[in-house]
């Protein structure tokens, strides 16, 4: 699956710069996850359902704007779109930092999400790299997202303990500014856009193939469901840790850190196993089961040991799948449709963020942990059936 030939110096600099950019941007967005449901309770207009909507709000604008901004990057260039998206992230973060009501906080989250640059960034990675190096580049960028998620779960509670939710959003704005520096000074000169790089929506006659052909559709469904589970989890787990386990909010970071460290061996084993098998269905299904079982076990945890073990299981499945899925998209998609496929993949991911926040909050308000677990188990059953039916890798790459 991965080319043995090393990156050129230009490719190495470009991919490291883009991975850093992804990490900075996603770190800021992920940091609010483990603490949003706790700190937002103190704001005017807050209840479990509205908190879930505000938590997932940025995913709505992300999902809506990924493909249009990818198309715009074909017209005016990748870097201007990425630069503008980071500016919107900074503005949205500052609006959220000064918000005094949940409505104002949700507006800030929507503005954060309007800087939807994932598809433009992945297309820029395609422009910088040779065709046989793109799978490896996608895997490195995917791994940077997994690393930012792990780091965010520790940094977020630490920053919140120092200055509450506003301090986290201020840090997100600062990371957006650092991302601007990467775009201006860290990336090589923009190469001439290749045919593969233009393929966001350029090949309209093959759009249906990019949407569902060659097993791609189930990968989009998978990233949607994975981030739905993530956002649903963080509408409930912080409260479980505080109310059922008795862990102070400022100590959540250490629980996440211990759980993530405990999950790393399993994540490494699962990702390595992916390179040894041509049919990914069984491995992906196992990751799904780990993620769902860990989440459901966490909902009923009543001790530090129980919540710790549940989070280790959850993070093992989630982090491994978060790393593997982008690489699989780059393998499944025909070369001429890779840009389009990554744009659709990003849209599905962020749509899952929005739906997960809304679904998790409403399920918890309607029927508590039992309702949330029931909904997630039903979703996962359909997900597993779809994986087994449609998840076989294409036999020939084109």
Distance CA 174, CA 147 (A): 19
Cβ burial of 326 (10 Å; 0-12, 13-18, 19+) is: buried
Return the number of other C-beta atoms located less than 10 Å from residue 290's C-beta. 22
Distance CA 100, CA 125 (A): 39
- Token pair of 198 as six digits: 């233009």
Residue 223's alpha-carbon distances to 304, 350, 380, in angstroms, are 30, 9, 12
- Structure confidence at residue 396 (pLDDT): 46
Are the CB atoms for 122 and 141 separated by under 8 Å?
A: yes
Return the number of other C-beta atoms located less than 10 Å from residue 370's C-beta. 12
Ordered by where they begin, the domains of the chain are 9-188+206-390 (1.20.1250.20)
Nearest one of 22, 75, 4, 30 to 233, comparing CA atoms: 30
Q: Which 3-state string (H, E, C) describes the chain?
A: CCCCCCCCHHHHHHHHHHHHHHHHHHHHHHCCCCCHHHHHHHCECCCHHHHHHHHHHHHHHHHHHHHHHHHHHHHHCHHHHHHHHHHHHHHHHHHHHHCCEHHHHHHHHHHHHHCCCHHHHHHHHHHHCCHHHHHHHHHHHHHHHHHHHHHHHHHHHHHHHHHHHHHHHHHHHHHHHHHHHHHHHHCCCCCCCCCCCCCCCCCHHHHHHHHHHHHHHHHHHHHHHHHHHHHHHHHHHHHHHHHHCCCCHHHHHHHHHHHHHHHHHHHHHHHHHHCCCCCCHHHHHHHHHHHHHHHHHHHCCCCHHHHHHHHHHHHHHHHHHHHHHHHHHHHHCCHHHHHHHHHHHHHHHHHHHHHHHHHHHHHHHHHHHHHHHHHHHHHHHHHHHHHHHHCCCCCCCC
Residue 105's alpha-carbon distances to 24, 25, 161, in angstroms, are 21, 19, 19
pLDDT tens sequence for the chain (398 residues): 445 678 888 888 989 999 899 888 888 888 888 888 788 888 877 787 888 888 888 888 988 888 788 778 877 888 999 999 999 999 999 999 999 888 899 999 999 989 888 878 877 887 888 767 776 777 777 777 777 877 888 888 888 888 888 999 999 999 999 999 999 998 988 776 555 445 444 444 555 666 666 678 888 999 999 999 888 888 888 888 888 888 887 788 788 888 988 998 998 888 888 766 777 888 899 999 999 999 999 988 889 999 999 999 999 999 888 878 877 877 777 766 666 677 788 888 888 888 888 888 888 888 888 888 898 899 889 999 988 887 676 654 44
- Structure confidence at residue 3 (pLDDT): 52
Are the CB atoms for 132 and 82 separated by under 8 Å?
A: no
- Structure confidence at residue 202 (pLDDT): 46
Helix axis angle for 118-128 and 338-390, nearest 10°, is: 110
- Structure confidence at residue 294 (pLDDT): 93
Distance of CA 107 to the CA centre of its chain: 20
Distance CA 340, CA 300 (A): 41
Residue with tokens 């800021």: 28
Return the number of other C-beta atoms located less than 10 Å from residue 67's C-beta. 18
Cβ burial of 233 (10 Å; 0-12, 13-18, 19+) is: buried
- Structure confidence at residue 247 (pLDDT): 85
Which residues, 6+ apart, have CB-to-CB distance to 378 below 8 Å?
none
């Amino acid at each position: 699956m991965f080319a043995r030939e090393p990156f050129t110096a230009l490719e190495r600099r470009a991919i490291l710069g883009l991975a850093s950019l992804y990490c900075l941007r996603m770190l800021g967005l992920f940091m609010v996850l483990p603490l949003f449901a706790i700190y937002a309770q103190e704001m005017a207009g807050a209840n479990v359902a509205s908190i879930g909507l505000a938590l997932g709000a940025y995913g709505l604008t992300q999902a809506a704007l990924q493909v249009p901004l990818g198309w715009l990057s074909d017209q005016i260039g990748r870097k201007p779109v990425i630069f503008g998206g980071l500016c919107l992230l900074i503005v949205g973060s500052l609006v959220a930092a000064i918000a005094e009501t949940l409505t104002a906080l949700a507006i800030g989250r929507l503005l954060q999400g309007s800087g939807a640059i994932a598809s433009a960034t992945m297309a820029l990675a395609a422009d910088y790299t040779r065709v046989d190096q793109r799978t490896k580049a996608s895997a490195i960028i995917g791994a940077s997202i997994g690393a930012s998620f792990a780091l965010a779960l520790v940094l977020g509670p630490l920053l919140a303990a120092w200055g509450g939710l506003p301090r986290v959003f201020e840090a997100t704005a600062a990371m957006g500014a650092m991302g601007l520096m990467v775009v201006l000074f860290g990336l090589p000169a923009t190469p001439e856009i290749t045919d593969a790089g233009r393929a966001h929506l350029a090949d309209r006659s093959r759009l249906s193939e990019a949407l569902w052909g060659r097993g791609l559709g189930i990968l989009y469904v998978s990233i949607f469901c994975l981030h739905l589970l993530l956002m649903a989890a963080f509408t409930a787990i912080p409260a479980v840790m505080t109310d059922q386990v008795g862990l102070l909010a400022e100590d959540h970071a250490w629980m996440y850190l211990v759980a993530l460290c405990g999950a790393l061996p399993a994540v490494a084993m699962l990702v390595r196993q992916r390179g040894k098998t041509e049919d990914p269905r069984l491995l992906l299904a196992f990751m799904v089961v780990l993620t769902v079982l860990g989440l459901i076990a966490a909902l009923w945890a009543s001790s530090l040991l129980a919540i710790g073990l549940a989070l280790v299981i959850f993070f093992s499945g989630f982090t491994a799948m978060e790393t593997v899925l982008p690489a699989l998209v780059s393998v499944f998609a025909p070369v001429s449709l890779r840009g389009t496929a990554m744009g659709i993949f990003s849209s599905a991911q962020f749509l899952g963020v929005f739906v997960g926040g809304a679904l998790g909050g409403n399920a918890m308000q309607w029927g508590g942990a039992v309702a949330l677990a029931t909904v997630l188990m039903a979703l996962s059953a359909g997900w597993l059936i779809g994986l087994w039916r449609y998840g076989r890798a294409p036999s020939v790459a084109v």
